[in-house]
Amino acid sequence: MFVHLETERLILRRFTAEDTDLLVELDSDPEVMRYLTGGRATPREAVQDRILPLFFSYYRRFPALGYWAALRRDTGEFLGWFEFRPPDVERPGEVELGYRLRRPAWGHGYATEGARALIRKGFTEPGVERVFACTMTVNRGSRGVMEKSGLRYVRTFFADWPESIEGSEHGEVEYALERAEWHGLQQGAR
Instruction: Give per-residue pLDDT as tens, 5-27.
Output: 999 999 999 999 999 999 999 99
> Which stretches within 27-80 are classed as H helix?
34-37, 44-46, 52-61
The per-residue pLDDT for 96 is: 98
- CA-nearest of 170, 182, 30, 15 to 85 is 15
Q: What is the reported pTM?
A: 0.94
The per-residue pLDDT for 89 is: 82
The per-residue pLDDT for 74 is: 97
The per-residue pLDDT for 161 is: 76
- CA-nearest of 165, 169, 154, 149 to 97 is 149
> Distance between CA atoms of 177 and 183, rounded to whole angstroms?
10
> Distance between CA atoms of 12 and 82, rounded to whole angstroms?
8
CA geometry: angle at 12 spanning 95 and 118, to 5°? 35
> Distance between CA atoms of 169 and 159, rounded to whole angstroms?
10
Phi, psi of 90 (to 5 degrees): -80, -15
- Residue ranges of the chain with per-residue pLDDT less than 70: 189-190
